[in-house]
Amino acid sequence: PPVLSGRDFLSSLDLTPQDYRAVMDTAHAMKRGEFRGQKPLDGLTLAMLFEKASLRTRTTFDVAMYQLGGHALTLTNQEIGLGTRERVSDVAQNLERWVDGIMARVYLQSTLIELAQHASVPVINGLSDSLHPVQLLADYQTLEERFGDPRGLKITYIGDGNNMANSHIQMAVLTGADVTICTPVGYEPNGKVLIDALAAGARVTLTSDLEAAVSGAQVLYTDVWISMGQEGEAERKRRAFDGYCVTPQMLDRIDADGIFLHCLPAHYGEEVVPEATEHRKSRVFDQAENRLHAQKALLYHLMADRQPRW
Ligand code: CP
Ligand code: NVA
């Protein structure tokens, strides 16, 4: 049965470890085809708001709603002008009258919080400048397929201390994974996210010792150095991240059974080369596939208890 009925998913820590287990078990079952032919979201609609570009998030949420028997509609910010054409709270109070859930990709985490405060339906974070929690569900589905229970798993994230790094830290709280974040000095992840995670007992290490961080990792993870909206910082960042490019030579230094993950899109020639995403240790396209299964599971747990409103 659904375990997240009516709740919001703005950060990984909106889930308890028990919720995480339920969502993952459903994601694995959905990937095995165990829900085929069922329509648990029959008659339900998800509105998708985008202040930024997307391939994976947009496609997988849309296909997920279709496969679950519901419907998804895409609203670009050119059309709705979140906070410019119309205040965020009014957008929320309109959408809640028509749709059963809202997924939003935004700049500010505070925009998501405002949407959630003013909409009675579930609000899902489809990426903000601070966090990318739906990505991490797919990532953990992928590493569970390889390693089983993530407790104690040695995960190393290298690169920019961005939304992906912050969400990796939060997942250490949720799952008990042993997470190392390796960034150049000056590009560390959010201090409050880190302090809260350490206070909650998470196993998180912050370092700029790239060699030690990569050596023996069971999961090596990277992301772009220049996130959406940061294009003006490109030159300075490219210099700061010298040595952080994931190459086949770097993949030789992780655990022999280790895997390489990247949320994509890749900026080839910066944080990664094509020979790394095509490497036998790479699981980046399984990871992209799992966006669909993991989000179907999330949508099921958030929305399947709702009655169609017509
Ligand atoms: N990984 C990810 O969120 O991809 P998109 O930006 O294409 O949605
Ligand atoms: N850090 C990247 C992730 C893209 C999925 C960005 O915010 O652009």
The predicted-structure confidence for 208-246, as pLDDT tens digits, reads as follows 999 999 999 999 999 999 999 999 999 999 999 999 999
Closest-CA residue, ligand 2 atom 6, reads 227
**Per annotation, catalytic residue among 291, 293, 301, 306:** 291
* Rounded mean pLDDT, 254-263: 98
Total residue count of the chain as it appears in this document: 310
Q: What is the DSSP string of 120-140?
A: SS-EEES--SS--HHHHHHHH
> For the chain, what is the radius of gyration of the CA atoms?
19
Reference 67, options 100, 101, 30, 95; nearest CA is 30
Amino acid 2 reads P
CA–centroid distance, 37 to ligand 2, in Å, is 34
- Asked about 283 being catalytic, the answer comes back as no
CA–centroid distance, 228 to ligand 2, in Å, is 6
Cα gap 297→41, rounded to integer Å: 11
**What pLDDT is attached to residue 303?**
98
**Per annotation, catalytic residue among 8, 178, 223, 283:** 223
CA–centroid distance, 108 to ligand 2, in Å, is 13
- Asked about 109 being catalytic, the answer comes back as no
CB of 227 shorter than 6 A to ligand 2: yes
Does 54 belong to an annotated binding site? Answer: no
Cα gap 179→172, rounded to integer Å: 6
- Asked about 97 being catalytic, the answer comes back as no
Query: Whole-number mean pLDDT of the chain?
Result: 98
**What pLDDT is attached to residue 310?**
83
Amino acid 138 reads A
Does 134 belong to an annotated binding site? Answer: yes
**What pLDDT is attached to residue 123?**
99
CA–centroid distance, 54 to ligand 2, in Å, is 9
**Per annotation, catalytic residue among 132, 262, 279, 306:** 132
pLDDT tens per residue, range 125-171: 999 999 999 999 999 999 999 999 999 999 999 999 999 999 999 99
Cα gap 210→143, rounded to integer Å: 22
**What pLDDT is attached to residue 146?**
98
- In terms of DSSP bridges, do strands 101-105 and 45-50 run parallel, antiparallel, or are they unpaired? parallel
Specify the fold of 12-131+291-303.
Answer: Rossmann fold (3.40.50)
How many DSSP H helices and E strands does the chain contain? 13, 9
CB of 207 shorter than 6 A to ligand 1: no
Cα gap 15→124, rounded to integer Å: 12
Does 105 belong to an annotated binding site? Answer: yes
Cα gap 110→44, rounded to integer Å: 26
pLDDT tens per residue, range 167-190: 999 999 999 999 999 999 999 999
- Asked about 42 being catalytic, the answer comes back as no
Closest-CA residue, ligand 1 atom 3, reads 57
Triad 224, 228, 229: Cα angle to 5°: 130
**pTM check: above 0.95:** yes
Closest-CA residue, ligand 1 atom 7, reads 55
**What pLDDT is attached to residue 120?**
98
Reference 194, options 211, 209, 179; nearest CA is 179
Cα gap 213→220, rounded to integer Å: 9
CA–centroid distance, 55 to ligand 1, in Å, is 5
**What pLDDT is attached to residue 309?**
85
Region(s) of the chain under CATH 3.40.50.1370: 12-131+291-303, 134-288
Confidence of residue 22 (pLDDT cuts 50, 70, 90): very high
CB atoms inside a 10 Å sphere around CB 179: 27
Cα gap 68→46, rounded to integer Å: 11
Classify 264 in phi/psi space as left (phi over 0), alpha (psi -120 to 50) or beta: left
* Rounded mean pLDDT, 83-111: 98
- Which CATH superfamily does the domain covering 134-288 fall into? Aspartate/ornithine carbamoyltransferase (3.40.50.1370)
**Residues 6+ positions from 15 with CB-CB distance below 8 Å:** 4, 9, 23, 174
Closest-CA residue, ligand 2 atom 7, reads 227
**Per annotation, catalytic residue among 67, 100, 118, 135:** 135
* Rounded mean pLDDT, 240-256: 98
| Nearest 10 degrees: Cα torsion 87, 89, 92, 96 | -130
